[in-house]
Amino acid sequence: MLKGKNRTNGCWAKPVNTAVYLKNRSTTKILDFKSPFEVLFSFMPVVSHLRVFGCKAFVHVPKENRKMLDSRDIKCTFIGYCSEYKPYKLFDPSTHKVFVSRDVAFHEQVDDGNHVQDNEECYVPLV
């Protein structure tokens, strides 16, 4: 997934988690064309929320968190899913932080070519 989006290996843990998330929701011949998720929970997984890895995303900034002339959105890169609840994991290249949000607009057909360098650190801020 990193090579497909021309990314470096600086933040490889998030794509691995995303690949596992997708693999658990994909059918397999060994389980009679059922997904591991379906076998474990006895119902088919919802896949309508799946997005293209590495696509451009715009996260809405709530009115309470911005000043008069601040932007209403933050340009980010989509890097994964949360396993416990519904938000998406996003990387903000301007602050080099990973965060989660549900208020996201995706531009899956556009690749802006933002590259994450090997020395850039990906971390989730403590809330």
Residue 31's domain comprises 9-107
Distances (CA, A) of 57 to 25, 33, 80, 86: 23, 33, 12, 16
- pLDDT one digit per residue (tens) for the chain, 127 residues: 555 555 555 566 777 787 888 888 888 899 999 999 899 999 888 888 888 888 899 998 888 888 888 888 889 988 888 877 778 989 888 888 888 888 899 887 765 554 444 344 444 443 3
Q: Please check whether residue 126 lies inside any domain of the structure.
A: no
Number of domains making up the chain:
1
Q: Please check whether residue 23 lies inside any domain of the structure.
A: yes
Q: Please check whether residue 123 lies inside any domain of the structure.
A: no
